[in-house]
């Protein structure tokens, strides 16, 4: 509901990181721990400017 007291709520700031959004036992974390994706940098280096 719009009221005159909403100014206080607009001044609030919340910081959230991606690590906070992904649970510790999520499949993405398990894949990241099991596979070394660093080889991708070598495959795509010629697609970026130096």
Contact 22, 28 (CB under 8 A): yes
Quick one: 37 exposed, middle or buried, by C-beta within 10 A (0-12, 13-18, 19+)? Answer: exposed
Rounded CA separation 23/44 (Å) = 30
Of residues 17 and 3, the one with the higher pLDDT is: 17
Mean pLDDT of the chain: 86
The H helix count followed by the E strand count for the chain is 4, 0
Rounded CA separation 22/33 (Å) = 14
Per-domain boundaries in the chain = 18-47
Q: Given a cut of 60, is residue 6 above it in pLDDT?
A: no
Query: Whole-model pTM?
Result: 0.52
């Amino acid at each position: 509901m719009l009221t005159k007291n909403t100014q206080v709520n607009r001044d609030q700031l919340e910081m959230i990181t991606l690590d906070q959004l992904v649970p510790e036992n999520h499949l993405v974390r398990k894949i990241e721990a099991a596979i070394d994706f660093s080889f991708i940098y070598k495959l795509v280096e010629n697609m970026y400017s130096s």
